[in-house]
């Protein structure tokens, strides 16, 4: 055989063997998927490396991710960046403004996330829960807080004899002015005429007959109005009213809250009446109904600056809370087990496709490198054989 043909054949055969060897080595990473048996004995190198070591690879990946990639320190550094907080606040703000439709009431907003029947049941439940809380709060203040034993003077801020005297004077002046205005009003004049007419009707005998003939009800009402107004404007009546009111205020100041509530309710134990008054004052069902009609969109647009600042503060507080609890949160996720479980469920075929799509060029380069090394080995071998001959 001619020398050039001998060398060419050796180089080509060695290059083919080198390329084929590397090609099969790459394929054996993923193939075969399962162990092969001949006459009950497992064929060596089956299954492939990745299918055989899949569980170990999954466990190792889990520890790598938890110990080196997704760590509490790394997440903390990411959270403490001001850009992240600003981005989160901006995202929430954009989401809220995008949904700030004109005429978007709270009820419409709620019904986007639930149906009306569920919302009605929830509203009734909230109202009942609020009523229960209000009743317990009143009872706690009344019994444990000792409010029932406190006097009116202790509960009213700034109560003193001088203050009560000032209130009595103001109240007497207000009563005098109010009574004067009421007497001079159309309704007041009508009431006076009705009173005079009733008095004349109740007067019997010949005196009643004479009074009905000679007494003019309008003139009598006008005269009575003049006398009453004169008395209301006099200092003596106002002083008498002031003295009376001051005396009653002094007496009321010594009442305990239990005594005052008992007088108002007419019951020996006024606690149930107080609970009823608290619920009547709160009107929870009515308040919830009013909130339902609130135009959320208009409020969001009108008070954008105010709630925008509050939103940034809330996001910052949430990030701070997460920062303080970060180790607990990360540990609760159980990242090693989570990653291991996901990798174990991941099909080997998909792993092969991903690896080939990412490293296909490198794998082909390895194949051609095997051919090159095989060709070099074939050339060296051919030269060596010729020298030996």
Give the pLDDT of residue 211.
46
Kindly indicate the confidence band of residue 209, based on its pLDDT and cuts at 50, 70 and 90. Answer: very low
In a domain, 341, yes or no: no
Residue 207 has pLDDT above 60, yes or no: no
Residue 1 has pLDDT above 60, yes or no: no
In a domain, 86, yes or no: no
Per-residue pLDDT of 307-362, as tens digits, reads: 778 888 888 888 888 878 877 877 777 777 877 777 777 777 777 777 777 677 88
pLDDT above 70 covers a percentage of the chain that reads 90
Rounded CA Rg of the chain: 48
In a domain, 228, yes or no: yes
Residue 197 has pLDDT above 70, yes or no: no
In a domain, 82, yes or no: no
Give the pLDDT of residue 322.
80
In a domain, 211, yes or no: yes
pTM of the full structure: 0.43
Residue 96 has pLDDT above 80, yes or no: no
Give the pLDDT of residue 67.
75
Query: In total, how many domains does the chain have?
Result: 1
In a domain, 317, yes or no: no
Residue 287 has pLDDT above 60, yes or no: yes
Structural domain including 228 reads: 154-255
């Amino acid at each position: 055989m001619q020398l050039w043909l001998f060398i060419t054949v050796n180089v080509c055969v060695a290059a083919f063997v080198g390329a084929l060897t590397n090609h099969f080595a790459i394929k054996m990473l993923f193939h075969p998927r399962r162990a092969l048996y001949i006459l009950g004995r497992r064929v060596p190198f089956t299954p492939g490396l990745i299918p055989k070591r899949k569980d170990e690879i999954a466990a190792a990946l889990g520890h790598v991710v938890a110990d080196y990639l997704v760590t509490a320190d790394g997440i903390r550094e990411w959270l403490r960046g001001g850009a992240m907080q600003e981005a989160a606040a901006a995202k929430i703000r954009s989401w809220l403004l995008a949904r700030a439709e004109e005429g978007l009431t709270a009820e419409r907003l709620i019904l986007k996330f639930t149906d009306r029947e569920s919302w009605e049941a929830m509203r009734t439940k909230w109202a009942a829960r609020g009523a229960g809380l209000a009743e317990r709060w009143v009872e706690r203040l009344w019994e444990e807080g000792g409010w029932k034993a406190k006097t009116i003077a202790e509960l009213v801020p700034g109560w003193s004899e001088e203050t009560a005297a000032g209130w009595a004077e103001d109240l007497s002046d207000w009563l005098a002015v109010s009574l004067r205005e009421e007497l001079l009003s159309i309704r007041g004049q009508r009431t006076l005429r009705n009173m005079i007419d009733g008095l004349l009707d109740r007067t019997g005998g010949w005196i009643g007959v004479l009074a009905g003939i000679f007494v003019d009800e309008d003139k009598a009402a006008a005269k009575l109005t003049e006398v009453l107004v004169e008395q209301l404007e006099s200092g003596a009546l106002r002083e008498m009213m002031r003295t009376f009111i001051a005396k009653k205020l002094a007496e009321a100041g010594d009442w305990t809250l239990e005594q005052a509530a008992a007088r108002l309710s007419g019951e020996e134990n006024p606690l149930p009446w107080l609970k009823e008054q608290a619920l009547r004052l709160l009107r929870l069902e009515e308040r919830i109904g009013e909130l339902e009609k609130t135009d959320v969109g208009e409020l969001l647009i009108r008070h954008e600056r105010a709630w925008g600042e509050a939103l940034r503060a809330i996001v910052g507080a949430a990030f701070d809370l997460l920062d303080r609890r970060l180790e607990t949160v990360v540990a609760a996720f159980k990242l090693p087990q989570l990653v291991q479980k996901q990798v174990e469920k991941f099909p080997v075929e998909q792993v092969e496709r991903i690896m080939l799509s990412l490293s296909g060029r490198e794998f082909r380069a390895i194949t051609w490198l095997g051919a090159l090394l095989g060709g070099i080995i074939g050339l060296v071998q051919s030269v060596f054989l010729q020298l030996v001959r």
